[in-house]
């Protein structure tokens, strides 16, 4: 796959992910590579088609989930110790966004970590702070420990993950189970079944992904 094709894929993915800085970046790179304007417009249109299909699928999904809401607890997870408070701070390497779905391919580790953070954010006594080296360099300068580690080993050691100002992990992202265990969080009952739908509806809705 050549670089032009990769950028066209990244343009469509950026639209689907609603990442405006990513879209601007990849369109500029595509233009620098000499990709025709019509191809760029087609990639954007394809991204919108995927987005539309995903919205239709999500509408059905949320409807089914809400049907079970009355019988479910008000929170999908509860801390083991309600009195505990923690601050989780992540120092990411330079990247266009932290979702894991930007660029020509999905980063499964980063995408899973982003999803886990959304779950953790639902627990009121956990504070999450996240900084991107490319977009928030001052945060790296303000933390003396982070600044010293960057000088010692450079950006290749990122990410740095702190809990209550104490370094926990560096150089990788934790698994969901690692993070839940470390923050002392127990997942609650599942609101819906994780099994596949009984019908043959496409994953992105009745109209498909494109």
Residues 60 and 82 in one domain: no
Residue 144 lies in a domain: yes
Residues 117 and 183 in one domain: yes
Amino acid 44: pLDDT:
92
How crowded is the C-beta side of 152, counted as CA atoms within 13 Å? Answer: 8
Last residue of a domain, one of 12, 37, 71: 71
Q: Structural domain of residue 11, as residue ranges?
A: 3-71
Q: What share of the chain is helix, strand, coil (3-state, %, to 5)?
A: 50, 15, 40
> And the tokens for 185?
């969080």
Handedness of CA 167, 169, 171, 174 (dihedral sign): negative
Residues 89 and 160 in one domain: yes
Residues 64 and 119 in one domain: no
Residue with tokens 């990411």: 92
- Of residues 97 and 40, which shows the higher confidence score? 40
- Asked if the model's pLDDT at residue 3 lies above 80, the reply is yes
Amino acid 61: pLDDT:
76
Residues 18 and 87 in one domain: no
Structural domains in the chain (count): 2
- Asked if the model's pLDDT at residue 204 lies above 70, the reply is no
CATH number at residue 133: 3.40.30.10
Determine the Cα–Cα distance for residues 199 and 210; give it in Å rounded to an integer. 19
State the pLDDT confidence band at 154, using cuts at 50, 70 and 90. Answer: confident
In tens, the pLDDT along 99-131 reads: 776 666 677 888 899 889 988 887 657 899 999
> Angle at CA 207, nearest 5°, toward 206 and 208?
95
Residues 181 and 132 in one domain: yes
């Amino acid at each position: 796959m050549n670089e032009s094709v990769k950028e066209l894929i990244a343009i469509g993915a950026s639209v689907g992910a609603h990442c405006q800085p990513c879209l601007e970046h990849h369109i500029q790179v595509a233009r620098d590579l000499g990709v025709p304007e019509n191809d760029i417009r087609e990639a954007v249109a394809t991204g919108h088609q995927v987005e539309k299909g995903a919205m239709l699928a999500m509408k059905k999904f949320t409807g089914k989930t809400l049907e079970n809401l009355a019988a479910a607890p008000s929170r999908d997870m509860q801390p083991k110790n309600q009195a505990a408070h923690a601050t989780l701070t992540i120092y990411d390497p330079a990247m266009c966004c932290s979702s894991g779905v930007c660029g020509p391919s999905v980063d499964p580790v980063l995408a899973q970590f982003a999803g886990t953070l959304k779950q953790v954010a639902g627990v009121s006594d956990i504070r999450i702070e996240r900084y991107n080296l490319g977009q928030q360099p001052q945060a790296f300068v303000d933390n003396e420990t982070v600044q010293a580690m960057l000088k010692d080993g450079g950006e290749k050691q990122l990410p740095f993950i702190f809990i209550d100002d104490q370094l926990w992990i560096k150089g990788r992202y934790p698994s969901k189970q690692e993070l839940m265990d470390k923050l002392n969080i127990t997942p609650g009952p599942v609101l819906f079944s994780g099994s596949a739908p009984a019908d043959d509806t496409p994953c992105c809705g009745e109209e498909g992904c494109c």
